[in-house]
Amino acid sequence: AFAIKLGIAPFHFWLPEVLQGITIKTGLIMSTWQKVAPMSMLIQMSSATNLNLLMFLSITSTLIGGWNGINQTQTRKIMAFSSIAHLGWTIAILNLSPKLTVLNFSLYIIMTSTLFITLLLLNTKNMSELATFWSKSPILSTLSMLSLLSLSGLPPLTGFMPKWLIAQEMIKQNLILFTIIILLSSLLSLFFYLRLTYALAITLAPNLSFSPFPWTYHKKNLLAPVVAF
How does pLDDT run across 74-126, given as a tens digit for each residue?
888 888 898 999 999 999 998 888 899 999 999 999 988 888 888 888 777 78
**Tell me, what DSSP letter sits at residue 204?**
P
Position with higher pLDDT, 71 vs 223: 71
Question: Is the model's pLDDT at 180 over the cut of 90?
Answer: yes
Residue 153 Rama label (left phi>0; alpha psi -120 to 50; beta) = left
Residue 211 Rama label (left phi>0; alpha psi -120 to 50; beta) = beta
Beta bridge partners of 61: none
The answer to whether residues 84 and 9 touch, using CB atoms and an 8 Å cutoff, is yes
- The rounded distance, in Å, linking the Cα atoms of 84 and 61 is 6
Entry pTM: 0.81
How does pLDDT run across 193-222, given as a tens digit for each residue?
888 888 887 765 555 444 444 444 444 455
7 — pLDDT class (breaks 50, 70, 90): confident
Sign of CA dihedral 135, 137, 139, 141: negative
